[in-house]
Amino acid sequence: MAVNYEITEMRNGVRICARRDLKLWGRILASSFFAVLTLLITDRFIGNGSWALALMVAMGTFATVRGSLAELRATNVEFVLRGNLGRQGSRMTRIVCTGDVRRLEFRDPAGQRSGLYAVTARSAQCILPFVDYAETLEIISVIESKFPGLAQAWNAASPPSDHSVTLRPGETR
């Protein structure tokens, strides 16, 4: 799936939107499924008109099914992740206080979402999925330039864990 992201600097923070678009065959499959379902349900009631309704449902589904969307709002107080990240497009919200964050890093754990993670003393939480290593580098750089006090605290924090790749400005891999 293709990933598009956009970084917007706001007066008191940074907004990053990441969208993972559904592939064409996935959109066609979803459209076909809902068209057949509509046809099966309405055929008994409408008769020949059910084909037209099924076609409209297929076109509507194709136009609206896009993929997953995640939005991260970073301020000097918190990171707020909102998006439709679940399997059935369920909305979720995750809040991580910046005071608890020891560092930001890219992770690609097996069986979980890869992306930007906020590492705290107790856990690491994904605060922006879908982005790759290079995109995560850019996002961390923008956040650290917007909040230099937080960046100093993160750089002074403990070293990274073995199963992650910590990204700090100036580092190369």
Q: Are residues 104 and 38 in the same domain?
A: no
3-state SS assignment for residue 111: coil
pLDDT number for residue 64: 77
User: Positive or negative, the Cα torsion across 97, 102, 108, 112?
Assistant: negative
What is the reported pTM? 0.70
Q: Are residues 28 and 47 in the same domain?
A: yes
- Residue 95 is encoded by which pair of tokens? 């809040």
59: phi then psi, degrees, rounded to nearest 5: -65, -40
* Rounded Cα distance, 102 and 158, in Å: 7
Residue 163's pLDDT band (boundaries 50, 70, 90)?
A: very low
The mean predicted confidence, pLDDT, of the chain is 81
What CATH number did the domain enclosing 97 receive? 2.30.29
Q: Are residues 122 and 53 in the same domain?
A: no
Residue with token string 């709002």: 73
Is 172 inside a domain boundary?
no
In this structure, are residues 92 and 125 in contact, taking their beta carbons and an 8 Å threshold? no
Q: Are residues 52 and 84 in the same domain?
A: no
Q: Are residues 11 and 37 in the same domain?
A: no
Which has the minimum average pLDDT: 8-12, 59-63, 78-82?
59-63
Query: Region 153-166: what's the mean pLDDT?
Result: 58
pLDDT number for residue 1: 52
Residue 5's pLDDT band (boundaries 50, 70, 90)?
A: confident
Is 77 inside a domain boundary?
yes
Q: Are residues 7 and 92 in the same domain?
A: yes
Is 84 inside a domain boundary?
yes
Domain limits at 40? 24-64
pLDDT number for residue 167: 47
Task: Assess whether pLDDT exceeds 80 at residue 40.
Answer: yes
Which residues are bridge partners to 141 per DSSP?
A: none
pLDDT tens digits for range 74-131? 999 999 999 876 555 567 888 999 888 899 999 888 877 888 999 988 888 889 988 8
pLDDT number for residue 81: 92
* Number of structural domains the chain divides into: 2
pLDDT number for residue 50: 82
How many other CB atoms are there within 10 angstroms of residue 54's CB atom?
Answer: 22
In this structure, are residues 76 and 87 in contact, taking their beta carbons and an 8 Å threshold? no
Q: State the amino acid at position 21 in one-letter form.
A: D
Is 45 inside a domain boundary?
yes
Task: Assess whether pLDDT exceeds 70 at residue 52.
Answer: yes
